[in-house]
């Protein structure tokens, strides 16, 4: 637990040297296999900062944290796992980074991800795929796969990810860790490299519910630099929330669309919740099969607009300069973007072009409204909704990457929360053939703390799965 | 609406997106894009005539006073620029062939 780690460092029960050495030793030994990091900072520099920060104090005084590589970190390169930004060094910190630094956290490195957060397996990275520490032949999920793997491998206790359609929860599920996609507007996106603004949020990832809550309490809050943040009325009181008499809706339509081994493990957890006194009822989201196409239409439309800024003139890959501006941009962009990014920009341009805007984009926004309304109705009857986080087990490296429609289908259960702006949390539910399976909890808008408190009870009393470290088998 | 995904459409999209594709990529994307559009067309099964579009999950943004703040200084702001001259960015030609 972070609270204990902070105290140990402060009271010198754990020396800063030993803490930093231990971390770098693990990373040195295993990251050549897991490839969780794109950039690792120098040990000397990190040790110096840890020592300084222990003295300064704060909720995370001296604690090492891993940051997804699409969050701007002043002076530390931020690549978005793309050739386009391979050597980009931000001249400023994202708001979440400022907040972490204020509490004494020290960035150990920047984690691998799908290029520009576009993918569900961390295989579209220009820097090569991340491998799942639980099984190196498998993907760690994506797009925050590096952060998920860094937690599962035990390199760090805390990490930040970003979630546009499940990018925090997929790696949380596949790495047997905890991840929260916060309610939209609770965490500033200033300094997050934009992909799909109306869907994405930065969020906390951790190895147990308590640490997840602590990290969330630090990064949440209104920000003058981000007009989409809200004035919070969250009560950051973390305590186990007993599930007795909690009204739980099981999304049976989503459960039925999941693989047998996955739904089996989830049904076991639901049975245990029931014997703990939770009020369980099967229910349906309705129109669930339309959520995925609607999500991808919206995400790609926003992506095509956001990624227009990469022209190789102000920053970014800039090999070509000969010819007129159209030729220069097209050549640089053609050479520096990976295939998934190109696919999404092209499709986004198509969807937003004359004649197709009404046909696709507007209709997708209408589906978004329908889904939000169904959820509003469901939350009148239930305190939380549960489902598997991912519909399938972690795929093998190379298994889904060449079939985009199959890869997109992995996000079936997670995109709903992004479309509707509600919070969703993934926690470890169990294992099948030693492969982790995650349980997803969704709650009404701004019920983030409630979800964390429920997951705290589940990890202690129901699944007893927390602080897990993968036995990396080389 | 029947959408034909062919070489011409891909060329048109390359042009709109300002992305030059290799021949292999053009071929691969022609195939992918046809499949993905088919997957998108699923939403046409729904009757959405009486549903309003939801553009953004939050009804309004936070506004702040329109007061000037200190921006990044020029040197820092231009740190990542590959081609610069006297504190300005050198861009590509915007006219001519």
Tell me the pLDDT tens digit for each residue of A106-144: 999 999 999 999 999 999 999 999 999 999 999 999 999
> Tokens 């599930």 label which residue?
A243
Q: How far does the CA of residue A404 sit from the closest CA of chain B (Å)?
A: 7
Q: Is B81 on the interface with A (CB under 8 A)?
A: yes
Across A192-265, where does the E strand assignment appear? 201-206, 247-251
pLDDT band at B97 (very low <50, low <70, confident <90, very high): low
CB-based contact A98:A120 (threshold 8 Å) = no
Rounded CA separation A353/B15 (Å): 12
ipTM of the complex as predicted: 0.95
**What burial class does residue A330 get, using C-beta atoms within 10 Å of its C-beta: 0-12 exposed, 13-18 middle, 19+ buried?**
buried
Domain residue spans of chain B: 7-44
Q: Which residue of B has its CA nearest to A322?
A: B92
Check if the beta carbon of residue A144 is closer than 8 Å to that of residue A113.
yes
Q: Which residues of B touch A353 (CB under 8 A)?
A: 16
- Closest residue in chain B to residue A365, using alpha carbons only: B53
From A311, A315, A365, residue closest to B55, measured CB to CB: A365
With an 8 Å Cβ cutoff, are A333 and B19 in contact? yes
Q: Retrieve residue B11's tokens.
A: 């060329």
Residue B3 pLDDT: 85
Contacts of A226 in chain B (CB under 8 A): 62
Q: Would you call B72 an interface residue with chain A, using a CB distance cutoff of 8 Å? A: yes
- List, for residues A317-329, the tens digit of each pLDDT value: 999 999 999 999 9
Q: Each residue of A51-86: pLDDT tens digit?
A: 999 999 999 999 999 999 999 999 999 999 999 999
DSSP code, position A116: G
Residue A471 has pLDDT above 70, yes or no: yes
Contact at CB, A308 and B18, closer than 8 angstroms: yes
Q: Averaged over A443-449, what is the pLDDT?
A: 97
C-beta separation of A50 from A139 below 8 A:
no
Q: Is A444 on the interface with B (CB under 8 A)?
A: no
Nearest CA in chain A to B37: A347
**Residues 306-325 in A contacting B (C-alpha not used; CB under 8 Å):** 308, 311-316, 318, 321, 323-325
> Is 80 exceeded by the pLDDT of residue A212?
yes
Q: Which fold has domain B7-44?
A: Histone, subunit A (1.10.20)
| Catalytic member of A82, A167, A304, A426 | A167
Contact A315 B72 (CB under 8 A): no
Give CA–CA dist A184/A334, Å, rounded.
33
Cβ contact, residue pair A297, B40, below 8 Å: yes
How large is the average pLDDT for residues A239-244? Answer: 96
Burial A308-327 (b: 16+ CB within 10 A, else e): eebbbbbbbbbebbeeeeeb
Verify whether the Cβ–Cβ distance A287 to B46 is below 8 Å: yes
Query: What distances in angstroms separate CA A167 from CA A140, A187, B33, one per listed residue?
Result: 11, 16, 23
Band (pLDDT 50/70/90 cuts) for residue A285 is very high
From the list A232, A159, A166, A209, the residue with the least C-alpha distance to A428 is A209
- Residue A398 corresponds to which tokens in the numbers above? 């190379």
Q: Do you know the residue count of chain B?
A: 97
Structure tokens given for A352: 């937003």
Cβ of A314 within 8 Å of Cβ of B81? The answer is yes
Q: In B, residues 6-35, which contact A (CB 8 Å cutoff)?
A: 9-10, 13-14, 16-22, 25, 28-29, 32-33, 35
First to last CA, chain B: 37
A82 carries an active-site annotation: no
Band (A233; pLDDT cuts 50, 70, 90): confident
Which residues from A are below 8 Å from B45, CB to CB? 290
- What gap in Å lies between CA A275 and CA A279, rounded to an integer? 9
Query: What is the Cα–Cα distance from B4 to B7, expressed in whole angstroms?
Result: 10
Q: How many other CB atoms sit within 10 Å of the CB of residue A342?
A: 23
Residue A147 catalytic? no
Contact across the interface for B48 and A363, Cβ inside 8 Å:
yes
Q: How far apart are CA A71 and CA A79, in angstroms?
A: 9
- Catalytic hit among A120, A125, A143, A387: A143
pLDDT computed for residue A299 by the predictor? 98
Query: Residue A285, SS3?
Result: coil
pLDDT at A383 over 80: yes
Is B77 at the interface with chain A, CB within 8 A?
Answer: yes
Q: Do A324 and B13 touch (CB under 8 A)?
A: no
Contact B14 A420 (CB under 8 A): no
Residue B80, exposed/middle/buried by CB under 10 A (0-12, 13-18, 19+)? middle
Contact of A169 with A144, CB cutoff 8 Å: no
The yes-or-no answer on residue A331 being catalytic is no
Pick B93's closest partner by Cβ from A324, A330, A339.
A324
Separation between Cα atoms, residue A257 and residue A274, nearest integer Å: 22
């Amino acid at each position: 637990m972070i609270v204990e780690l902070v105290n140990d460092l402060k009271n010198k029960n754990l020396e800063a040297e030993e803490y930093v050495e231990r971390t770098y030793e693990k990373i040195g030994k295993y990251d050549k296999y897991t490839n969780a990091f794109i950039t690792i900072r120098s040990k000397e520099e990190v040790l110096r900062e840890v020592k300084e920060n222990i003295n300064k104090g704060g909720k995370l005084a001296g604690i090492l944290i891993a940051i997804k590589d699409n969050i701007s970190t002043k002076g530390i390169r931020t690549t978005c796992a793309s050739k386009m930004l391979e050597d980009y060094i931000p001249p400023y910190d994202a708001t979440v980074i400022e907040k972490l630094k204020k509490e004494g956290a020290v960035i150990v490195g920047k984690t691998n991800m799908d290029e520009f957060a576009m993918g569900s397996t961390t295989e579209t990275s220009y820097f090569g795929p991340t491998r799942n520490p639980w099984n190196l032949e498998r993907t760690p999920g994506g797009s925050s796969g590096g952060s998920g793997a860094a937690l599962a491998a035990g390199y760090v206790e805390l990490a930040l990810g970003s979630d546009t359609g499940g990018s925090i929860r997929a790696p949380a599920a596949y790495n047997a860790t905890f991840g929260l996609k916060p309610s939209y507007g609770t965490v500033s996106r200033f300094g997050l490299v934009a992909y799909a603004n109306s869907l994405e949020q930065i969020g906390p990832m951790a190895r147990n519910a308590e640490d997840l809550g602590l990290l969330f309490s630090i990064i949440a809050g209104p920000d003058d630099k981000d007009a989409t943040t809200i004035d919070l009325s969250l009560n950051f009181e973390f305590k186990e929330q007993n599930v007795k008499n909690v009204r739980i809706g099981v999304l049976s339509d989503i459960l039925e669309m999941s693989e047998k081994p996955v739904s089996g493990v989830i049904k076991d957890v639901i049975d245990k919740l029931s014997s703990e006194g939770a009020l369980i009822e099967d229910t349906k989201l309705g129109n669930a099969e339309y959520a995925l196409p609607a999500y991808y239409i919206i995400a790609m439309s926003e992506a095509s607009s956001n990624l227009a800024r990469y022209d190789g003139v102000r920053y970014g890959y800039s090999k070509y300069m000969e010819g007129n501006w159209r030729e220069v941009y097209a050549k640089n962009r053609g050479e520096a973007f990976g295939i998934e990014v190109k696919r999404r920009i092209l499709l986004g341009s198509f969807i937003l072009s004359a004649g197709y805007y009404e046909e696709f984009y507007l209709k997708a926004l209408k589906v978004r409204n329908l889904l939000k309304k169904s959820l509003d109705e469901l939350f009148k009857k239930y305190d939380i909704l549960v489902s598997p986080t991912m519909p399938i087990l972690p795929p093998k490296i190379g298994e889904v990457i060449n079939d985009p429609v199959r890869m997109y289908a992995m996000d079936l259960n997670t995109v709903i929360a992004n479309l509707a702006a509600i919070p969703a949390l993934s926690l470890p539910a169990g294992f099948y053939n030693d492969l982790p399976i995650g349980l997803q909890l969704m709650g009404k808008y701004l019920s983030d703390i409630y979800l964390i408190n429920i997951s705290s009870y589940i990890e202690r009393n129901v699944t007893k799965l927390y602080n897990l470290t993968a036995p990396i088998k080389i | 609406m029947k959408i034909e995904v062919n070489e011409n459409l891909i060329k048109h999209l390359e042009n709109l997106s300002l992305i030059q594709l290799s021949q292999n990529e053009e071929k691969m994307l022609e195939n992918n894009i046809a499949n993905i559009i088919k997957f998108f067309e699923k939403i046409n099964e729904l009757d959405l005539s009486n549903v309003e579009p939801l553009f953004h999950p939050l009804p309004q943004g936070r506004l702040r006073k329109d007061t000037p703040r200190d921006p990044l200084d020029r040197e820092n702001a231009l740190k990542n620029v590959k081609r610069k001259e006297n504190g300005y960015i050198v861009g590509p030609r915007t006219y001519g062939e």
